[in-house]
Structure 1
Amino acid sequence: MLANQIILTGLKYLGTPYVFDAPPHQTKVFDCSSFTQYIFGVYGISLPRNSRQQYTMGIPIPFNKIRKGDLLFFTTKTRKDRQLPSKIGHVGVFLGSGHMLHTYREGKKVMVSELNSYWKLAFAGAKRVI
């Protein structure tokens, strides 16, 4: 399944440092959207460079229907009162079992996170691009 391949590729980069506005198409550092752009691009799925642009791609999926490989989009404190897609400030990849693969914030790295109450409150939408 393509979603599993994309996820396995992403997992190879666990621990890769986060840098805001990281250059695209390289693997030394990532920000959230350069990470998703890279791991999907390995399999010929072209995503735009930033999370707001990525939100315009694919098929909208309700939270209770998300599956492995879906893109999860989140808002931030500074963007939460805006309209979509400008309220989007973060993107990750759903792994299944209530977890996502992503990177965010200076000092953090590519990681797996639980979709806990923090992320559920910030959730702004999901898209299927596979």
Structure 2
Amino acid sequence: MTKRDWVMKSTVAVMLSTSLLMGGQVGQAAAKTQDSKQSDVVQIATSLIGKDYEYKAKGPKQFGSAELATYTYKQIGISIGSTISSLSKAGKKVSQNSVEPGDLVFFSSNGTGSPTFMGIYIGNDQFVYSSQSEDAVVLKSYSEYSNKFVGARRILDETSSSDNSGSKPEQPASNLADKVIKIGEKYMGTKYKYGSSSSTTKTFDCSSFTQRVFKEAGITLPRDSHQQSTVGTTVSKKNLQKGDLVFMKASVNSSSDRITHVAIYAGDGKILHTYGSPGVTYSKFDGTNWEKRVVKIKRVL
């Protein structure tokens, strides 16, 4: 059997099983409910079977392991991380036996430690992943990889709610940005603590603050500022909009562009963030050292 024949046969088989899984509704127009988003993710992932593997490739013709998931979710308007490490912390943790279509599944060669490859579970004991050893996006049996399983994360639970939580918002992006700022303002004056737990609102560091604010607006972000800088769309400073995430280096004169701080652009030349003694606060941005320290700006709304 040629590779082309194998790809066609596999794709047809997957689409048939997927139709059964989704109650025969695959391909039909529907409201963006949880089930329809699952269906969209499954359709997109299976459509990529047979594409070439290439390390760190972002698609649409070639894919790295994590980048396959990033690309798939981007097609339904959801920004997630672009590395295995960041994705293994995204969304909600689920057990090995509780995975649902659309969940991200993670594996290592010996089933312990940090994940080294990952895929998208599509139901019917199957997952799709970009395989380095097979040099292609392939379909595999989930149960056959049970001894290599190290984790699963659910993105759609975290990003599906009445306010559209993380997908391309039905409400205008400006309205969602206003919501983000309003949520952030309720924490004004909350004390700063480096390494603050993401589970508390009694203290924040810069990235736990942005993660919390966006989570309450229905958008899932990774935990630390570097990971957060890998999601969303990069925009220039001249195109800065309310709600954008602004990432900064340690100082104006630093020779390194290593990201050490993140803030939310609040409009009117201000940023909303937390640091040092003021804790959560507004700071002037335009023309200040905050602006001069900018390394990257990302839009996730």
Question: TM (normalized to structure 1)?
Answer: 0.91
Where 2:182 maps in the other structure, the secondary structure is helix
Tell me the number of residue pairs that the alignment of Structure 1 and Structure 2 aligns: 125
2:297 match: 126
Using CA pairs below 8 Å that are at least 6 residues apart, which structure has the higher relative contact order? 1
Equivalent residue for 1:90? 261
Answer yes or no: is 1:16 the counterpart of 2:190.
Answer: yes
What is the rounded CA distance, in whole Å, between the counterparts of 2:199 and 2:300 in structure 1? 19
Superposed CA offset, 1:30-69 (max 9, x none): 0000000000001221111110110001000100101010
Equivalent in 207, 211, 229 of residue 55 of structure 1: 229
> Where does structure 2 lack aligned partners over 5 or more consecutive residues?
1-174
Which residue in the other structure is 1:30 paired with?
204
Residue 113 of structure 1 and its aligned partner are, at CA, apart by 0.2
Moved beyond 6 Å, runs of 4+: none
**SS of 1:41's equivalent?**
helix
Q: Does 1:112 align with 2:277?
A: no
Q: Does 1:73 align with 2:243?
A: no
Is residue 275 of structure 2 the alignment partner of residue 101 of structure 1? no
- Give the 3-state SS of the residue equivalent to 1:37 in structure 2: helix
Q: Conserved in 1, the CA contact under 8 Å of 2:249 and 2:256?
A: no
Query: Structure 1, residues 73-123: CA drift from partner, whole Å, max 9, x if none?
Result: 10004x94335xxx1000000011100000013x23100000142112211
SS at 2:282's partner residue? Answer: strand
Between structures 1 and 2, the one with greater helix share: 2
Look at both structures and tell me which one has the larger radius of gyration over its CA atoms.
Answer: 2
Quote how far apart the aligned CAs of 1:25 are.
3.0
> Matched residues in 1 for 2:242 and 2:260: separation?
21
| Residue of structure 2 in register with 1:6 after alignment | 180
Report the Cα distance in structure 2 between the residues aligned to 1:70 and 1:128, rounded to whole angstroms.
Answer: 5
- Aligned partner of 1:102: which letter? H
CA distance in 2 between counterparts of 1:80 and 1:37 reads: 26
Kept in 2, the 8 Å contact 1:51–1:90? The answer is yes
The amino acid that maps onto 1:117 is T
Measure, in 2, the Cα distance between the counterparts of 1:75 and 1:118. 11
In 2: Cα distance, 1:73 partner to 1:22 partner: 19
Alpha-carbon distance between aligned partners in 1 of 2:298 and 2:190, rounded to the nearest angstrom: 25
Q: CA deviation at 1:19?
A: 0.2
